[in-house]
Structures are given as structure tokens and as C-alpha cells.
Structure 1
Amino acid sequence: MLSVNRVVAEPEGPAREKAFQTALDVLVDRRDEFNAQGYVPRDYIDLLKRAGIYRASTPRRFGGDALDPSTFMKKIEQISTVDPATGWVASFGSSLVYLAALPPDTQRDLYAEGPDLTYAGGLFPMQEATAVDGGYRVSGVWQFTSGCMGADLIGVGLAGGPETKGRPLTALVRPEQAEIVPNWDVAGMRATGSHNVRLDDVFVPQEWTFVRGGTPTVDEPLYRYPGLAYAAQVLAVTALGAARGALDYTLGVSAGRTSITGGAKKGQRPSYKSGLALAEAKLRSARAFFYETTDEVFALAEAGDEIPTEKVALVRLAASHAAHVGREVALEAFDLCGTGAIFRSHPMQRYLQDALVPAQHAFLQTATYEAAGAVLLGLEPDVPSFP
């Protein structure tokens, strides 16, 4: 079904590390371009492929890396420190964990030309599809398809039935089968290019659909890790990166020029010193909780042990906390920068506007705190599909 001109990752080791550093260096030069045009272009996606980002969640049996979550997310955090929106697009290098629920033969076809594959999913609103012999006829419009401008494969959400126990189906199509509807007119995470996609009576074979969050047909540690929790984490980590970038900027200008009113240099002001220190402590604490819970749960996945619901709830809690703390720290850094930061051309605008977005996502909104508390108390959470 899928036929694309695949870009292949550099071999593991120094060559791939160099490719990753090259991608970061190029991003410094081009992040304003990406923000202005509203998407990360395919030629830069190819640089991320060479750096191994888009084989990170491909099963090892099909030539991928199936990286542990912490190793992958630290790379996304690094990218987000330079440009959070590009980090958001790169974070979907994790999304092939969903595709592990496809039939093994379909996955074999999917990766026949190589394991480096970019996937963009626009799952909502779920649409009713027409069941036909061998598959579905699919029409509709789906929102928030982040990274669709550089995707090799697009997934859309279909309403499930009794056979899926009410869980949504995802149908996979080639980009040329879908129309991208440009509508991404936002202030934060602008470069994610999260446009709508439209399908008009497209036939999707049954074997190219899967239940979102369904049982994987691949038995490797990454696919035993809780998938929906991981989906929340890879978005939350962009807020950690945004906050890190914002704080690094405030450190860099701390010894800069005096105030236009003639006041002391920023770094000499008591409020600047204490504000910077408190923000640093807050960010590092949230980050430690985030990766601690990740590694604890992945260790259970590696051992093949059952992962208690309470542990998954802690992963979700750590993700939400990271998103909200990232937002707070970026705002505190903005405050430290003073009046100059209000200008659209100021570097802090990138970090602030992008850092505001992750905590707005349904996976990370304030309601997930209450849901996590409910699980820890042995109660039923009100948030759907939690944890």
C-alpha cells in the first residue's frame, strides 16, 4: 500500500550523533522560517530521519530502534530547547507504537522500504465509515493533524462499534489520498502545521485499520509500555524543553545592559537572582519526577511484568505536571526579561507562546490532575481513557 522515497537514518554511533547535532544547528538558523510559514518542511523532516528520530518507535523486528521512552524524549526535549514547535513535530517519532496494533503482515508491508517513517494522525472528530467488502469507504474532515505537511502516512479516526468495544478505529491512508485543509492560524506551536485533513470516499482495506490503544501484535518492551500515557508524555516534554530554552536565555542576558531607566544590570537585581533560582529548581524538580516515573514503568515493561494502574496514573500525573510547570517557568522567565520581551521579535516570544500550548491539550489539561487523584484513591476517573 505504501510507496515513498525513504530517507534512511545514519548508522548508530558517531554518525547518527553528528546527524542529530547537524539537525539542531540547522534548526537554530531556520526556526524563524518554520514559524513564519507555519509548518516544518519535508527537507528538515529528512534531517530528523537521518538523526534516527523517525525510527525510534519502529519495532526492532522491522529494522527500527524501539527506543526506551526516556532516551527518545530527552532527544525531543533537546530539540524543543531550540524550537518547541519543531520538537512537537519530532515527538511524533513515537507514534508508531500505535501502529504496532496492525496485523503483522501489514506492518511488514509498511516497513518494507525501511523503518524511517513519519506518521501524522488527525483522529477527531471521529467519523462514521461505510463498511464494504474488505474494508471501509471513508469520508470526512479531521482536525489537528500535526506534522501532516511532512508525513509519509496519515491516520484518521473512525467511530468504533461492538467489535471494537466502542473504542475508536484508526484508518491509514497515503498523503495523496487526503486533502490538507490549511486552517492552522494560531499564536503558539505555529510551526507544527496542525491543519485539518479531508477524505472523500477513500477505500481503506480492513488490514490497514486498527483499534487506537489496541493490543500490539509485536512483543517488544516498548509496546508493553502504556501507549496513551506515552502519547501524553511526548507532548509534555516539549514544555520542559521550552522552559529550558527560556531559562537558558535569561541566563545569557543576566549580565546584559542596564535598564533604560538607568537601573542595575539584570543579573545584579535581587528579584532576578531569586526568580531565576526558584524557576530553575521548579523545572528540575518536575523533570526529575517525569523521568523517574518513566524509567520505573519501563523497567516493568522490560521485565514483562504487569504494570499496575496506579503506576500508569503516576506517569500521566508526571506528564501533566511537566506541561503545567513548563508553562509556569516560561512565563516566569518572560517576566524576568522585562519590557523588551513584549516585542514579537524577542526570542522569549517563541518559548512563551509555544510553552502555553501543551497544557491545553486534552491529555494534559487540569482535569487530568483530578483523574490521577481518583485512581490513586481507588476511584473511577471522570476523564475518558484515563490513565
Structure 2
Amino acid sequence: MAVTNVSEYGVVFHPETAPTKAEIIARAEAIAPTLVARQGETEERTFYAQDTHEEFLRAGFYRILVPRRYGGLELGIDTFMRVVMALTRGCPSTGWMYCLGHAHALVVASLFDDRTQAEIFGDGDFIAPATVMPSGTAARTPAGDWVLNGTWNYCSGSPYATHFIGHTLVSPAEGEPPAPMLFIAPRSEWTRLHDWGKQLGLKGSGSHSITMLDGIVPSNFTLNSHISQISVTAGTPGRDLHGNPEYGGGQLSFMVIEDAVLAVGMAKGALDAYEDLMRTRTTAFPPSMGRAEAPDYQYWYGKAAGMIATGEAAILNAVQQWRDTCALGPSAVTQEHEMRIASICHEVVDLCWHAVESYLFPTAGSSAVRQGERIERVWRDMSMFHSHAGFAVFLSTIAKRELAKARFGVGDDAHA
């Protein structure tokens, strides 16, 4: 599929006409309700529609995190996260696919030099799924670039992607053990497989596999590290280049903030559906009355609403903590800070899941949780979410231990 470009649709963002943060969030909130009725077709297709993609292009959603220097909007992670939350509320699959497609503009804008960013961002729009599991093989060309072969799974956002960010293992020097290398592959160098849609949930998230057969990746499109292990405490090229502290923020904490924002968006969608039932359905046992008048339903709705609102408040505060820490300078982005943000994110996801799983899903009624119903879909999507390694392994277990180790100065080399 050819990669589209916002200028093809007659939209070019000049500084004097570029949307503000409030305007672009309002656009997302206006689009989100239209996604609700299209959830079924999105799942069947396994990704959101071409006309939805074009609407996102016109709205500027694929430029939110791209630096202004390259035609982007540079509106910050707070704007991006609110757009993600709004879109996910309308359709979890659409929100997931958009989020994990555009989020990695922050990686490029933070970690690569001016030449590389200019080549990658092109005229402003950027969509790049990323995976953390190293796969495939890489060999040097005579010119010093890389030839990659292999398949990378769970590439959310791949259908309309301009690039792919992956990892492979290479030996830093002859005789040394392989170590992770991050690479950015242009769209011309890989193929999307048609292998998504049979999973329990998030069937429309565009999380297909990507395969490369002798794909060429320029050497300046690589970093000798794993994205989860990159330290920014000494500064980043992007922070210096753009004069924007957010391009010097913690990469790992930014990624897990995405998880929590997606969970809040999903839970808010389930609460919307439950509210419709409160207004239109009656109680199952006498005395018969509208659910909105029934004390039990009032409690179930109020309990879930409070849990979801608490999750939203917590993650928006975590976003602000992330931004405040960026503003303090590179040395403030410590391992303890990263893991504290991660721990907040786990609690947010857990809170939203329990609001849906314990209060909304079981009391909505059997007819409201049939296949294709909105609450049923959110339950499937959030269940699928729980199998994601970022939540099930990292946030649930590793982040807790790493926070304590960072706080108490305990580590593998603490007593060396």
C-alpha cells in the first residue's frame, strides 16, 4: 500500500494556520463518536479505514509529535495523549493503532541527529510501529549500511506506516557477543503480512507482522542500544537541536504512559455504553424501574465512574510529571523517576480494568455483552491488553522491583 501524505489532500500546515493544542484535541473529540459505529468493520478489516486515515491526515494527528523544524506541529505529549484517549474512547482498535503508529515520532525527534531526522520526517507526517523483541539478522554492506532479513511480530500501526522501528542483534566487534541494535526501516524496505485479526481482542489495531528480505537500512538510521535501555541523563541530540525539553525525556516512561492512556480511553468507552443502558433499560427483577432510578445500578455506575475518573486523573498527572521532569534538565530523568511513572501507569491500567471487569461487564446484562456489542468489545480488548508483555511482564512485575532497586541503590553492580 502506498504511503499517503497530508499534502496530497491539500493540507499544508503553516505556522500561522497550524492548529493549537485545544483545536486539535477538539478535532479528536469530534471524530471519536463517528468511530463507534465502525468498530465492527474495523475489526473485520483488521485496521481502520482509508477515509479515517485521510481524516487523521487532514486533522494533523500524524504531526503532533513531529518537530516544527520538519513541518510538524510539535504540540507535546499532553496533546498527543489526550487525542489518543479521545480516539480510543470511540474505538479501542483505532486508538491503539493510531497511538502505536505515531508515538514513535518522539523517539526519532529525541535520539537522532539533524540529518537523520530530516531524512526520516520528510514533509511532516510520521507513522512507525515499533517492536521491542529483537529478531532477524543484520549484515554490513561495503558502504557501512545494514542489510536486514527477518520477521517482526505485533507491529501495531503498520497498514499506513511510513517507517518501521525494530531491533535485531549484532556483534559490536568480532568475537564479542551479540547486542541489541535499534533500526528504522523506510516503508520501501519491508512488507506487511496479512496475519492479524484472529486474536481475542484489538482485532482492528493493525498489529500485523512485518517482514524484510534484504532490506537496506542506512547506518545513521540505527542506534547501538535497545529502546528500553537508552539513558537520556546526559542529554539527547533532539533536546539540543529543537530547544524543546520534551525531546530529552525518558523513552521508557513515555512508552508506558501510552498503555495507561489507552486503558483509560477504553474504560471511558465502556462507561459510555453503560450509561446508554442506564437510560434505556429497566431492571430485571421487580419492582421494575429504569436502571437510572435503581439503587444497585446507581452504585455500579457510580463506582465504575469514580474508578475510571481516578485513573484519568492519575495518568494526566503522570504526563505532567513527565513534562516537569524534562523541564528540570537531563539529569532529572533518573531510573527512579522512570520506574515511578511506570508504577503509576500500572495502577491506572489495573483500576480501569477492574471498573470494567468487576462492575460494568457483569451488570450490563447478557444482551449487552453479545458479540459485537460495545461493552463486549471493550472487555475483549482490555483482556487482550492484559496479555501484552508491556503490561503483563514489565508493568506488573519488573517495574515494581526496579523502582525499589533504584530508590535503595540496589543493583547488579551496587557492591562491586
TM-score range, shorter chain: 0.7 to 0.9
- SS of the equivalent of 1:43 reads helix
Does 2:222 align with 1:192? no
Quote the Cα distance in structure 1 between the aligned partners of 2:398 and 2:185.
Answer: 34
Q: CA shift at 1:27, angstroms?
A: 2.0
Partner of 2:273: 249
Give the number of equivalent residue pairs: 380
Aligned to 1:12: 19
Q: Per-residue deviation at 1:86?
A: 0.7
**SS of structure 2 residue aligned to 1:183:** coil
| Match of residue 297, structure 1, among 304, 308, 322 | 322
How far 1:63 moved relative to its partner?
3.0
2:149 corresponds to which residue? 139
Q: Deviations over 1:78-111 (max 9, x none)?
A: 1111111111112132211221323321211223
Q: In the alignment, which residue of structure 2 is the partner of 1:183?
A: 195
Amino acid at match of 1:302: A
| Residue 312 of structure 2 corresponds to residue 287 of structure 1 | yes
Which moved further from structure 2: 345-354 or 224-233?
Answer: 345-354
- CA spacing shift, 1:131–1:88, aligned 2, 3 Å: same
Which residue of structure 1 aligns with residue 345 of structure 2? 319
Deviation at 1:22, TM superposition (A): 5.1
Distance 1:242 1:194 in 2: 17
Point out where structure 1 has 5 or more consecutive residues left out of the alignment.
Answer: 383-387
Distance 1:5-1:251 versus aligned 2 partners, 3 A rule: closer
Structure 2: unaligned runs, 5 residues or longer: none
**Matched position secondary structure for 2:279:** coil
Q: Structure 1 221/161 Cα, relative in aligned 2: closer, same or farther at 3 Å? A: farther
Which letter does structure 1 place at the counterpart of 2:250? P
Matched residues in 2 for 1:343 and 1:249: separation?
13
Q: Deviation of residue 17 (structure 1)?
A: 5.8
SS of aligned partner of 1:360? coil
Please give the per-residue CA displacement for 1:186-228, whole angstroms capped at 9, x wherever unaligned. Answer: 1211111211111111222211223443464211222222111
Contact 1:120–1:151 (Cα < 8 Å) also in 2: yes
What is the aligned partner in structure 2 of residue 57 from structure 1? 65
Instruction: Quote how far apart the aligned CAs of 1:122 are.
Output: 3.9
Other-structure match for 1:169 = 181
The root-mean-square deviation of aligned C-alpha atoms, in Å, is 2.8
Please give the per-residue CA displacement for 1:109-144, whole angstroms capped at 9, x wherever unaligned: 2233x2121112244342231122221111011100
Whether the aligned pair in 2 keeps the contact of 1:122 and 1:156 (CA below 8 Å) is: yes
Secondary structure of 1:91's partner? helix
Quote the offset at 1:259 in angstroms.
4.5
Structure 1 SS opposite 2:153:
strand
Q: So what's the TM-score if we normalise by structure 1?
A: 0.88
**Which has the higher relative contact order, 1 or 2, with Cα contacts under 8 A spaced 6 or more apart?**
1
Aligned to 1:67: 75
The aligned residue for residue 254 of structure 2 is 230
1:86 paired residue among 81, 94, 98: 94
Q: Secondary structure at the match of 1:190?
A: coil
Q: Per the alignment, do residues 269 and 166 of structure 1 end up closer, same or farther by CA in structure 2, a change over 3 Å counting?
A: farther
CA contact (8 A) 2:147 2:216 kept: yes
CA contact (8 A) 1:34 1:191 kept: yes
Query: Which amino acid in the other structure matches residue 318 of structure 1?
Result: I
Cα–Cα, structure 1 residues 6 and 170, in superposed 2: closer, same or farther, change >3 Å?
farther
Distance 1:29 1:256, change over 3 A: closer
183-192 or 93-102, which deviates more:
93-102
The aligned counterpart of 1:150 is 160
Please give the alpha-carbon distance, in whole angstroms, between the structure 1 residues aligned to 2:125 and 2:351: 33
Cα displacement string for residues 63-85 of structure 1 (whole angstroms, at most 9, x for unaligned residues): 32333322221111111111111
Q: Is the 8 A contact 2:29 2:83 kept in 1?
A: no
Cα distance between partner residues in 2 of 1:17 and 1:311? 28
The alpha carbon displacement at 1:165 in A equals 10
The aligned counterpart of 2:105 is 96
Distance 2:387 2:411 in 1: 19
Match of 1:126 in 2: 135
CA contact (8 A) 1:91 1:235 kept: no
Match of 1:38 in 2: 46
User: TM-score, normalized by length of structure 2?
Assistant: 0.82
Cα shift readout 1:279-328 (whole Å, capped 9, x = no counterpart): 12212222222222221231121232522332221210111222222222
Aligned to 1:385: none
Tell me if the contact between 1:242 and 1:330 (Cα under 8 Å) persists in the aligned partners: no
